[in-house]
Amino acid sequence: NEAAASAVLDALNATDSNGTEALNATAKFVATPEGTALAYGSLVFMALLPIFFGALRSVTCSKSKNAADMPETITSRDAARFPIIASCTLFGLYLFFKVFSQEYINLLLSVYFFVLGVLALSHTMSPLMSRIFPASFPNKQYQLLFTQGSGESKEEIVNYEFDTKNLVCLLISSVVGVWYLLKKHWIANNLFGLAFALNGVELLHLNNVSTGCILLGGLFIYDVFWVFGTNVMVTVAKSFEAPIKLVFPQDLLEKGLEASNFAMLGLGDIVIPGIFIALLLRFDVSLNKNSRTYFYSSFLAYIFGLGLTIFVMHTFKHAQPALLYLVPACVGFPVIIALFKGELTEMFRHCTHVHPVQEERLKPRGLI
């Protein structure tokens, strides 16, 4: 799971400042001020959606008794290893693109992310569909169960419960998937990207604030090194054709939906700060004070950090490691507030809920 997560979150952890070179190298394009403002503003708005709604859904997810909705808890050991795994994955992708044909690699990745994207988008749409369908809709229940062994040694491998509404979501998501697979259209890319980001924020849970600081601190160094120290991050970002970035055309006003000169934002710059913001929302809920101080402060800090990233990127015309600005903002703002409120110790002692099924899985690894 960690290697797959690294491939998704870290291959495009940097924001590419020149979408023209990345996706339309045959011709230089100078964006109009209006087109640039629309593109960057849309990227910021799209980045906020999965963080806000993913954080809200993470609260419900942490209380769920359904094993299918079980969150993946990130421990301090996981957080410490993640930048190393991410670096190995990133450099491995870089070598793959240097040695093998980019066309064949991206074909394999397209099929792989088609399957993941359909499942992620289906899971994202499911709560909405439950509200849209009338109560009279014939909603049958299904269960997919795979076990290993027999008798007392029987062990569940997969136990997934779903219903007719979930199948409808899967059908709609498959249509979007085929559209992406055939056309690689930027709207289909963004639908999958938003679904990946929202699912990441909802289902990846930091077990406490200290773990969050370890993860964000490690990826802060990782991001700065691979963007400023080498050309690896930007090379992979420009070569990697998969819905693991949000894009928006800077020439939309001139060319409409067929626009092709994109500004882009890697999903890692959304999910990594997003899971920390979601943790702070769960901390707010645990305080039982009917207040969301830490969530809103970190959410506003994210807006500030992302805006600063775009400003610096646009000013210097160079790819920026967004976590360079996002990590100090998202960690610093809530910590300062906790200091003033005298809740800093309580914040760092707070531990998130660990699902009983996952607790049994973590014990043999010595992680809890």
- Name residue 332's amino acid: G
At residue 162, what are phi and psi to the nearest 5 degrees? -150, 170
pLDDT of residue 99: 87
**Residue 26: Cβ-neighbour burial (10 angstroms; 0-12, 13-18, 19+):** exposed
Tokens of 25: 């190298």
> Residue 271 has what pLDDT?
95
Catalytic-labelled residue, pool 16, 78, 223, 284: 223
| Nearest one of 197, 322, 191 to 247, comparing CA atoms | 191
Burial class of 25 by CB neighbour count within 10 A (0 to 12, 13 to 18, 19+)? exposed
321, two tokens:
């490691």
The widest CA-to-CA distance across the chain, in whole angstroms, is 68
Residue 362 near residue 73, CB atoms below 8 Å: yes
Q: Which of 122, 164, 158 is nearest to 139 (CA)?
A: 164
Active-site residue identified among 10, 16, 78, 269? 269
CA of residue 158 relative to chain centroid, distance: 24
Cβ atoms of 348 and 210 within 8 Å: the answer is yes
Cα distances (angstroms) measured from residue 127 to each of 123, 124, 133: 8, 7, 10
- Residue 73, token pair as written in the block: 């808890």
| Positions of the chain with pLDDT under 50 | 1-8, 10-27, 353-368
The reply to whether 284 belongs to the active site is: no
pLDDT in tens, 217-274: 999 999 889 888 888 888 887 787 888 889 999 989 888 888 888 888 989 999 999 9
Neighbours of 334 (CB within 10 A): 28
Tell me whether residue 163 is one of the annotated catalytic residues: no
Predicted local confidence at residue 26, as pLDDT: 35
Q: What are phi and psi of 174, to 5 degrees?
A: -65, -35
pLDDT (0 to 100) of residue 69: 65
At 307, phi and psi to the nearest 5?
Answer: -60, -40
- Predicted TM-score (pTM) of this structure: 0.83
Question: Both tokens of residue 117?
Answer: 């994207």
Cα atoms found within 13 Å of the Cα of residue 114, Cβ hemisphere only: 17
**SS3 string of the chain?**
CHHHHHHHHHCCCCECCCHHHHHCCCCCCCCCHHHHHHHHHHHHHHHHHHHHHHHHHHHHHHHCCCHHHCCEEECHHHHHHHHHHHHHHHHHHHHHHHHCCHHHHHHHHHHHHHHHHHHHHHHHHHHHHHHHCCCCCCCCEEEEEEEECCHHHCEEEEEEEEEHHHHHHHHHHHHHHHHHHHHCCHHHHHHHHHHHHHHHHHHEEECEHHHHHHHHHHHHHHHHHHHHHCCHHHHHHHHCCCCCEEEEECCHHHHHHHCCCEEEEECHHHHHHHHHHHHHHHHHHHHCCCCCHHHHHHHHHHHHHHHHHHHHHHHHCCCECCHHHHHHHHHHHHHHHHHHHCCHHHHHHCECCCCHHHHHHHHHHCCC
